[in-house]
Structures are given as structure tokens and as C-alpha cells.
Amino acid sequence: MNAPFAAPGDAPLVNATRFRAAHSGDWEHLEELVTRMEKRSMRSLSDDDLLALPGLYRTTLSSLSVARDTSLDRALINYLEQLCTRAYFQIYGVQTPAHRQLARFFAKGWPEAVRALWRETLFCVVMTFGAAVAAYLLIRSDPSWFYSIIPEGLSDGRDPSASAEALRKTLYDDSGKDFLGVFATFLFTHNSQIAIFSFALGFAFAVPTVLLILYNGLMLGAFFAVFAAKGLGPNVAGWLMIHGTTEIFAICISGAAGIRIGMAIAFPGRLSRMDAAVRAGRIAATAMGGTIIMLAVAGLLEGVGRQTIMDDGLRALIGTAVLAGWLVYFYGWRSRSAEYGH
């Protein structure tokens, strides 16, 4: 076969030409639909478009397969690859509408995630109260411990040297702020940031998260000790409980989320380390996202509720009632559905 190579007759010389002529209409139609879906949403498509979409997608996908095997037009294959990828993510990776996602989160995702973390949550609660009791006992035996636990700026005069009168004042007279919302929002954003931290820090094999939780408990115990020493124990309990039950619970859950991630990476079990991290990450992120809501509630209770309600008993009652609400929402669900399931 030594004859010069030439194209036969009138047929197009290269496959890409034939191929483009036959299918470019479909490709461009799909491209137009996908662009519209990306710019706006699935709803911007008419019924006809919606019906045409799967067909166009499959046509283009098979065009890609054929083009890879028969054509050497690199730009054409590139175009088809990118178009198919875009279409794939619009068709298969489509997002559930926000309101449906939210409804699912509250009805199922959040309580289930928190329930799945019950062991870690219990661990965090025990750590918090263990640390609080330790700090309490230490400071009651030697008040100078207080200064090594609480940084100077944070105590704001509430240290062992303060008089009972001054301490009492901090419990009932921390108003003086014209708009309570500022305080509430500040607390909310600050605490939420801490919750996100303790989630993220879990990546370092959970160690920093545990330390954070322990320290939180130490501070709690230290403050309590200062007030209890002056006979203000029940008063400070009410002051702490109105928002503290929700806040400490939320911090414990986000700590539990961090611990779950750290443990999954340290001890992946039968799964590969990657798979274990992903599985733990999804549950932990859902639970952690929920704690932001809890902290918003806590911020409101602390910033507004505490400043307007001065009765210790009522403060403690509200705190207990809110905590009971959370417990029923998170853990009461299963027992009830299990009953119905019978």
C-alpha cells in the first residue's frame, strides 16, 4: 500500500465533522438547559424541557463515549466531557429544596445525629461536671487556686477577694445595658464560635476538644466556689441554670461531635480511615450545626431572660424546663417511635 493517502469521495474527511453535524443540535440544547438550571433552578425549565432533559443527557453521554473511541478532535471531546459533567451534577447532584432540607433536619437529622453521639455526649457531661467538682473542691480548700484557673480579665471582680455584697450585685444587677439584645447576640456568636472550634479541634485525635471541655468545667466549678463561699450557692445556681443547662449541653454535644471525628480517625475499626472520617464527619457536622440553634436559645435566655427575671427559683425552673425539652426532643423520640413500631 504505497499509494498516497487521500480521502475517498465526497464524504467528510474526519469523523468529528460527521459527528458534529448529526448531534450538535442536541448538545447545544442540553447546554442551554443546563446553563439555565445553573443560573436559576430546576423550576425555570418548562415541562417540555424537563421531559427532554434525560434524553438529551443520555444522548450526549453516548456521544462522549463514541467520540472518545472514534474521533481525535480533542476540543470536541473536551466539550462533551465538560457538558456531561455539568449535566450530571444538575441531574444527579441536585439539591433538595432548602425548606425540605430544613424540615428533615429538625424532624430526623438533628435528633438522630445527637442520639448517635450519646456516648460521647455523656462523656463530655461527666468531664464537665467532674472538672467542675474538682475545681470547686480545690478552691474551697485553697482560694488561691482560683487565680490559676480563671484568667484575670474574665473574672471581672468576681474572685475570692470580692465581698458578698459585690458578688450578689453581679447576680441581679448585670443589667445597666440599654438593649439586652446586644449582650445576647454577643454571647450567641461567641459561644457558637467555640462550639465550631471544639468540633474542628476533634480532628487532632480529640485531645484539644477534651481539654476545652475540661477547662469549661473548671471555670464553672471555680465561679461556683467563689459564690458558694459567701453563702450565695443557690443564687448562683439559679443564675447559671437559666441559660447554662442549654449552653453546657450544647457545648457538650459539639465536643462530642469533635470527639467522634477524632476517634474515627484514631480507631477506624473495620472501615478505612477515610471512610470512617467521612461517616463520623457527616453525623458530627449535623449535630454541631444544631448546637448553633441551641446556643441561640441560650443566648436569648442569658441576655434577655436572665436580665428580666430576678427570682432564683424561677430562673432554675426555666433552665430545668428547657433542658427537659431538649432531652425529650433528642432522646425521647426513639422510645416513642419504638412503641409505635411494635
Instruction: Give 238 or 299: the residue with its C-beta nearer to another protein.
Output: 299
Q: Whose CA is closest to 257, among 130, 126, 110? A: 110
Stretch that binds another protein, among 166-174, 197-205, 232-240, 315-323 (CB under 8 A): 197-205
- 3-state DSSP of 103-153: HHHHHHHHHHHHHHCHHHHHHHHHHHHHHHHHHHHHHHHCCCHHHHHCCHH
Cell 472520617, residue located: 277
Applying CB under 8 A, among 70, 161, 175, 272 the residue interacting with another protein is 70
* 333 counts as binding another protein under rule CB under 8 A: no
Q: Whose CA is closest to 201, among 158, 259, 147? A: 259
- The nearest distance, CB 20 to another protein, in angstroms, is 5
* 307 counts as binding another protein under rule CB under 8 A: no
Using CB under 8 A as the binding rule, the residues of this chain from 122 to 181 that contact another protein are 177-179, 181
Instruction: Give 228 or 264: the residue with its C-beta nearer to another protein.
Output: 264
Instruction: Give 52 or 200: the residue with its C-beta nearer to another protein.
Output: 200
Backbone angles phi, psi at 194, to 5 degrees: -65, -40
* 109 counts as binding another protein under rule CB under 8 A: yes
* 76 counts as binding another protein under rule CB under 8 A: yes
* 200 counts as binding another protein under rule CB under 8 A: yes
Kindly provide the b/e burial profile for residues 137-166, where b requires at least 16 CB atoms within 10 angstroms of the residue's own CB. Answer: ebbbeebebbeebbeeeebeebbbebeeee
Instruction: Give 235 or 286: the residue with its C-beta nearer to another protein.
Output: 286
Taking the CA atoms of the chain, what radius of gyration do you get in angstroms?
31
Using CB under 8 A as the binding rule, the residues of this chain from 14 to 33 that contact another protein are 14-18, 20-21, 24, 27-28, 31
Applying CB under 8 A, among 111, 238, 281, 305 the residue interacting with another protein is 281
Applying CB under 8 A, among 22, 51, 89, 106 the residue interacting with another protein is 89
Q: How many residues bind another protein (CB under 8 A)?
A: 87
Stretch that binds another protein, among 60-68, 130-138, 217-225, 238-246 (CB under 8 A): 60-68
Interatomic CA distance for residues 240 and 220, integer angstroms: 9
* 295 counts as binding another protein under rule CB under 8 A: no
Applying CB under 8 A, among 32, 38, 142, 311 the residue interacting with another protein is 38
* 209 counts as binding another protein under rule CB under 8 A: no
Give the DSSP letter string of 192-241: HHHHHHHHHHTTTTTHHHHHHHHHHHHHHHHHHHHHHHTT-HHHHHHHHH
Q: Side chain identity at 227, as an amino acid letter? A: F
Q: Side chain identity at 7, as an amino acid letter? A: A
Applying CB under 8 A, among 26, 49, 59, 86 the residue interacting with another protein is 86
Interatomic CA distance for residues 303 and 181, integer angstroms: 6
* 13 counts as binding another protein under rule CB under 8 A: yes
